[in-house]
Amino acid sequence: MKRALIVTLIILVFFTACGNPPLIQVITNPPVNEQEPALIKDISEESVEDVSVNAEPELEPKPVPSLEPEPMPSLMPAPSLPSLGEDAAEKYLGKWTGYYNNNSGKMNLEIDIYMVDMTTNTSNVWARFIFSPDISNPTGKSGEYKLEGDLNVYTGEVSMQGTQWISANPENYSMLSLSGIITDTTFNGLLERGYLPEFYLNRF
């Protein structure tokens, strides 16, 4: 052991005296272990893998709800009214007889419906308004004028207005408008003037 130490010292002194520092550099600075870079590389790769594993997962963007309005449900078409045919006019055509009251007293009344236009649901209707005094009303006058208006052939609702005198215009008498409802046997309604007198008619 002592011999080996002595030989080492001699060699060291020899190279020092010869001015050959590389050997000292080799002895004093041993080479770096070539495996260390690989180790560092392995450690860095593991760190990257650990980071990638432990990193929070990316959140997928939530779908944005559509702002377009929802389509409206289709509306059911309104049921069409049944066709009554030309014979429906027969229910309304003809003479309706009865009475009404005016300022002078009770008046006999006949409304003669002579034409109904069936081309529309609310039909055009033409008639004659014929009035005369009742036996209980000696001061009443007689007269006749044309009526024209609208008749609903499904409900029997009717409204008509006086349009033209057929007879001479009696003194202090004017043409009236009326509205009412026609059934199979009756035609009742109101005469449209200041006090809205009622009229009551029947088919004979």
Helical H segments across the chain, by residue range: 2-17, 21-28, 35-54
pLDDT value, residue 47: 47
Of the candidates 158, 102, 151, 92, which has an alpha carbon nearest to the alpha carbon of residue 131? 102
Query: Does the pLDDT of residue 77 top 70, yes or no?
Result: no
- Domains in the chain with CATH codes: 1-32 (no CATH), 87-203 (2.40.128.620)
- Which pLDDT tens digit goes with each residue over 110-157? 999 999 988 766 678 999 999 999 999 999 999 999 999 999 988 999
Helix/strand/coil for 44:
helix
pTM across the whole model? 0.58
Distance CA 92, CA 45 (A): 104
